[in-house]
Protein backbone atom coordinates (compact mmCIF):
# COMPACT_ATOMS: atom_id res chain seq x y z
CA UNK A 1 0.00 0.00 0.00
CA UNK A 2 2.84 2.47 0.58
CA UNK A 3 3.66 2.62 -3.13
CA UNK A 4 0.01 3.25 -4.03
CA UNK A 5 -0.10 5.96 -1.39
CA UNK A 6 2.96 7.65 -2.91
CA UNK A 7 1.21 7.65 -6.29
CA UNK A 8 -1.92 9.04 -4.63
CA UNK A 9 0.09 12.12 -3.65
CA UNK A 10 0.20 13.14 -7.34
CA UNK A 11 -2.70 11.26 -9.00
CA UNK A 12 -6.35 12.30 -9.03
CA UNK A 13 -7.45 8.78 -8.04
CA UNK A 14 -5.63 5.55 -7.25
CA UNK A 15 -7.26 2.12 -7.27
CA UNK A 16 -5.06 -0.60 -5.78
CA UNK A 17 -5.82 -4.25 -6.50
CA UNK A 18 -4.68 -7.13 -4.29
CA UNK A 19 -5.72 -10.77 -4.01
CA UNK A 20 -4.90 -11.12 -0.29
CA UNK A 21 -7.72 -10.06 2.10
CA UNK A 22 -5.40 -9.16 5.03
CA UNK A 23 -3.38 -6.92 2.68
CA UNK A 24 -6.57 -5.23 1.46
CA UNK A 25 -7.65 -4.63 5.07
CA UNK A 26 -4.22 -3.22 5.94
CA UNK A 27 -4.25 -0.79 3.00
CA UNK A 28 -7.79 0.36 3.87
CA UNK A 29 -6.72 1.09 7.46
CA UNK A 30 -3.34 2.63 6.79
CA UNK A 31 -3.77 4.52 3.48
CA UNK A 32 -7.19 6.21 3.34
CA UNK A 33 -6.53 8.09 0.11
CA UNK A 34 -6.06 4.79 -1.78
CA UNK A 35 -9.15 2.93 -2.96
CA UNK A 36 -8.28 -0.75 -2.59
CA UNK A 37 -10.18 -3.64 -4.16
CA UNK A 38 -9.83 -7.35 -3.48
CA UNK A 39 -9.53 -9.00 -6.88
CA UNK A 40 -7.42 -11.23 -9.10
CA UNK A 41 -5.07 -9.44 -11.51
CA UNK A 42 -6.15 -11.91 -14.20
CA UNK A 43 -9.58 -10.19 -14.15
CA UNK A 44 -9.13 -6.53 -13.26
CA UNK A 45 -12.26 -5.03 -11.66
CA UNK A 46 -12.44 -2.01 -13.99
CA UNK A 47 -14.44 -1.30 -17.14
CA UNK A 48 -12.87 -1.33 -20.59
CA UNK A 49 -10.83 1.79 -21.51
CA UNK A 50 -11.34 3.41 -18.10
CA UNK A 51 -7.77 3.86 -16.79
CA UNK A 52 -5.02 6.34 -17.71
CA UNK A 53 -2.05 4.51 -16.16
CA UNK A 54 -1.42 1.01 -14.82
CA UNK A 55 1.52 0.74 -12.43
CA UNK A 56 2.82 -2.76 -11.74
CA UNK A 57 6.04 -2.72 -9.74
CA UNK A 58 7.62 -6.02 -8.71
CA UNK A 59 4.41 -8.01 -9.16
CA UNK A 60 4.32 -9.77 -12.54
CA UNK A 61 6.98 -12.27 -11.47
CA UNK A 62 4.48 -13.58 -8.89
CA UNK A 63 1.68 -14.23 -11.41
CA UNK A 64 0.88 -17.63 -12.89
CA UNK A 65 -0.71 -16.22 -16.04
CA UNK A 66 1.43 -13.26 -17.07
CA UNK A 67 -0.04 -12.94 -20.62
CA UNK A 68 -3.57 -12.79 -19.19
CA UNK A 69 -2.54 -9.94 -16.87
CA UNK A 70 -1.06 -8.02 -19.82
CA UNK A 71 -4.30 -8.62 -21.75
CA UNK A 72 -6.24 -7.16 -18.83
CA UNK A 73 -3.96 -4.11 -18.67
CA UNK A 74 -4.57 -3.46 -22.37
CA UNK A 75 -8.32 -3.85 -21.86
CA UNK A 76 -8.66 -1.37 -18.98
CA UNK A 77 -6.32 1.28 -20.42
CA UNK A 78 -7.65 4.08 -22.59
CA UNK A 79 -6.02 4.46 -26.02
CA UNK A 80 -2.70 6.19 -25.34
CA UNK A 81 -2.74 4.92 -21.74
CA UNK A 82 0.53 3.88 -20.14
CA UNK A 83 1.68 0.69 -18.47
CA UNK A 84 4.69 1.05 -16.14
CA UNK A 85 6.06 -2.32 -15.12
CA UNK A 86 9.15 -3.33 -13.17
CA UNK A 87 10.40 -6.82 -12.41
CA UNK A 88 13.62 -8.55 -11.32
CA UNK A 89 15.99 -9.22 -14.19
CA UNK A 90 16.23 -13.02 -14.42
CA UNK A 91 19.80 -12.82 -15.74
CA UNK A 92 21.17 -11.25 -12.57
CA UNK A 93 18.49 -12.09 -9.99
CA UNK A 94 18.57 -15.84 -10.65
CA UNK A 95 21.76 -16.27 -12.69
CA UNK A 96 22.17 -19.38 -14.77
CA UNK A 97 18.71 -20.82 -14.08
CA UNK A 98 15.14 -20.61 -15.32
CA UNK A 99 13.93 -21.65 -11.85
CA UNK A 100 13.53 -18.50 -9.71
CA UNK A 101 15.67 -18.17 -6.60
CA UNK A 102 12.70 -16.58 -4.86
CA UNK A 103 10.15 -19.34 -4.10
CA UNK A 104 7.35 -16.76 -4.32
CA UNK A 105 8.14 -16.06 -7.99
CA UNK A 106 6.50 -18.10 -10.74
CA UNK A 107 8.53 -16.84 -13.71
CA UNK A 108 11.23 -14.21 -13.97
CA UNK A 109 11.99 -12.37 -17.21
CA UNK A 110 14.98 -10.85 -18.94
CA UNK A 111 14.63 -7.64 -20.98
CA UNK A 112 13.95 -9.42 -24.27
CA UNK A 113 11.28 -11.63 -22.67
CA UNK A 114 9.59 -8.67 -21.01
CA UNK A 115 9.52 -6.77 -24.31
CA UNK A 116 8.11 -9.81 -26.11
CA UNK A 117 5.42 -10.29 -23.45
CA UNK A 118 4.32 -6.66 -23.80
CA UNK A 119 4.42 -6.57 -27.60
CA UNK A 120 2.62 -9.92 -27.94
CA UNK A 121 -0.02 -8.45 -25.61
CA UNK A 122 -0.67 -5.53 -27.97
CA UNK A 123 1.49 -2.83 -26.37
CA UNK A 124 4.07 -0.54 -27.94
CA UNK A 125 7.17 -0.45 -25.74
CA UNK A 126 8.28 3.17 -25.33
CA UNK A 127 11.31 2.52 -23.15
CA UNK A 128 13.17 -0.33 -21.51
CA UNK A 129 15.56 0.52 -18.69
CA UNK A 130 17.67 -1.24 -16.10
CA UNK A 131 17.69 -0.46 -12.39
CA UNK A 132 21.22 -0.48 -11.00
CA UNK A 133 22.36 -0.43 -7.38
CA UNK A 134 24.56 2.22 -5.79
CA UNK A 135 27.83 1.39 -4.00
CA UNK A 136 25.92 1.69 -0.69
CA UNK A 137 23.59 -1.14 -1.72
CA UNK A 138 26.54 -3.23 -2.88
CA UNK A 139 28.01 -2.81 0.62
CA UNK A 140 24.71 -3.96 2.13
CA UNK A 141 24.75 -7.02 -0.12
CA UNK A 142 28.26 -7.85 1.07
CA UNK A 143 27.21 -7.52 4.73
CA UNK A 144 24.42 -10.05 4.18
CA UNK A 145 26.35 -12.83 2.49
CA UNK A 146 26.22 -11.42 -1.04
CA UNK A 147 22.54 -10.46 -1.32
CA UNK A 148 20.30 -8.47 1.00
CA UNK A 149 17.32 -9.76 -0.99
CA UNK A 150 18.33 -13.40 -0.53
CA UNK A 151 18.78 -12.74 3.20
CA UNK A 152 15.15 -11.57 3.35
CA UNK A 153 13.89 -14.54 1.28
CA UNK A 154 15.67 -17.09 3.49
CA UNK A 155 14.03 -15.64 6.59
CA UNK A 156 10.61 -15.41 4.93
CA UNK A 157 10.70 -19.05 3.82
CA UNK A 158 11.79 -20.14 7.30
CA UNK A 159 9.24 -17.82 8.97
CA UNK A 160 12.20 -16.49 10.95
CA UNK A 161 12.51 -12.98 12.39
CA UNK A 162 14.91 -10.58 10.74
CA UNK A 163 18.18 -9.86 12.49
CA UNK A 164 18.39 -6.25 13.73
CA UNK A 165 21.19 -5.52 11.21
CA UNK A 166 19.05 -6.73 8.29
CA UNK A 167 16.03 -4.75 9.48
CA UNK A 168 18.14 -1.59 9.84
CA UNK A 169 19.69 -1.99 6.39
CA UNK A 170 16.34 -2.59 4.65
CA UNK A 171 14.86 0.44 6.44
CA UNK A 172 17.83 2.58 5.34
CA UNK A 173 17.33 2.00 1.58
CA UNK A 174 16.30 5.19 -0.27
CA UNK A 175 15.37 5.93 -3.86
CA UNK A 176 18.75 7.66 -4.28
CA UNK A 177 20.34 4.22 -3.89
CA UNK A 178 19.11 3.23 -7.36
CA UNK A 179 19.95 4.47 -10.84
CA UNK A 180 17.55 3.94 -13.75
CA UNK A 181 19.44 3.74 -17.04
CA UNK A 182 17.91 3.26 -20.50
CA UNK A 183 19.03 0.41 -22.75
CA UNK A 184 20.39 3.01 -25.17
CA UNK A 185 22.90 4.21 -22.55
CA UNK A 186 24.01 0.97 -20.92
CA UNK A 187 23.78 -2.81 -21.17
CA UNK A 188 20.69 -3.48 -19.05
CA UNK A 189 21.35 -7.22 -19.00
CA UNK A 190 23.67 -6.33 -16.09
CA UNK A 191 20.90 -4.59 -14.13
CA UNK A 192 19.22 -6.15 -11.12
CA UNK A 193 15.72 -5.02 -12.14
CA UNK A 194 13.98 -3.99 -15.36
CA UNK A 195 11.60 -1.08 -15.93
CA UNK A 196 9.40 -0.94 -19.03
CA UNK A 197 7.08 1.85 -20.09
CA UNK A 198 4.54 0.72 -22.69
CA UNK A 199 1.57 2.41 -24.33
CA UNK A 200 -1.79 1.12 -25.54
CA UNK A 201 -2.05 2.11 -29.20
pLDDT band for position 194 (cuts 50, 70, 90) = very high
Whether 82 contacts 125, CB under 8 Å: no
CB 167 within 8 A of CB 149: no
Model confidence over 144-163: pLDDT tens digits? 988 888 888 888 889 999 98
Task: Kindly tell me the burial class for residue 83, based on how many C-beta atoms sit within 10 Å of its own C-beta (0-12, 13-18, 19 or more).
Answer: buried
Tens of pLDDT, residue by residue over 53-109, are 999 999 999 999 999 999 999 999 999 999 999 999 999 888 888 899 889 999 999
Amino acid sequence: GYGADLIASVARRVVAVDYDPPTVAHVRRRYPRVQVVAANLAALPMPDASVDVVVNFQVIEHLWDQPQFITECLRVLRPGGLLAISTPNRITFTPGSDVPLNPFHTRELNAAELRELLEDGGFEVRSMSGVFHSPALAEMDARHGGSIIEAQIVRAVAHAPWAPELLADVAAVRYEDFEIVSEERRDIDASLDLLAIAVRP
